[in-house]
């Protein structure tokens, strides 16, 4: 498998905050974008960037291995957010990104995220073997 991450390559995604992406404990009704949902969308932005720019074989993908994210501000349901990812380093199969999330008023999140390139069939074999060892399959 050949792959090459280009340092400095960026991706930007826009999406609207949905009710299933919010906290449920602050007050009744629609709430604010939750930290896990923001991080999930940051990770997906990085994953898409890797798929578009680094991986040429359809049997390969990437998985998240590290997140170091600060959630800086609350964002309501219905607001559009902008997710940004930039490749800052590439070592072996590991790709490190700078990530950010913004709404129409301010930066709502920032940090770094690392992903590891994987061969999906091999990853799945190891996963199934682990399920068996744990008595889950």
pLDDT at 27: 62
CATH superfamily of 10-133: Hotdog Thioesterase (3.10.129.10)
Render pLDDT for 99-108 as a digit per residue (tens, 0 to 9).
999 999 999 9
Query: Taking the model in full, what pTM does it have?
Result: 0.91
54 vs 113, residue with greater confidence: 113
The Cα–Cα gap between 19 and 31 comes to 7
pLDDT at 26: 65
Residues in the chain, overall count: 137
Which active-site residues does the annotation give?
35, 43, 71
Q: Residue 83: which residues within 8 A CB-CB, separation 6 or more?
A: 12, 13, 14, 15, 41, 42, 45, 99, 100, 101
The Cα–Cα gap between 53 and 85 comes to 12
Residue 73, pLDDT > 90, answer yes
In what helix (H) or strand (E) does residue 49 lie, and over which residues does it extend? Answer: helix 35-53
Q: If you average pLDDT over every residue of the chain, what do you get?
A: 92
């Amino acid at each position: 498998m050949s792959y090459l991450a280009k340092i400095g390559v960026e991706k930007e995604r826009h999406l609207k905050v949905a009710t299933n992406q919010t906290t449920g404990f602050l007050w009744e009704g629609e709430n604010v974008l939750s930290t896990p949902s923001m991080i999930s969308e940051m990770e997906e932005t990085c994953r898409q960037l890797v798929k578009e720019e680094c991986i040429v074989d359809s049997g390969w993908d990437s998985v998240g291995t590290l997140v170091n994210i600060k959630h800086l501000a609350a964002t309501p349901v219905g607001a559009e957010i902008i997710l940004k990812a930039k490749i800052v380093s590439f070592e072996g199969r590991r790709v490190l990104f700078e990530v950010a999330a913004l709404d129409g008023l301010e930066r709502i999140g920032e940090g770094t995220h690392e992903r590891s390139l994987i061969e999906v069939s091999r990853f799945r074999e190891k996963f199934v073997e682990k399920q068996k060892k744990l008595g889950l399959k």
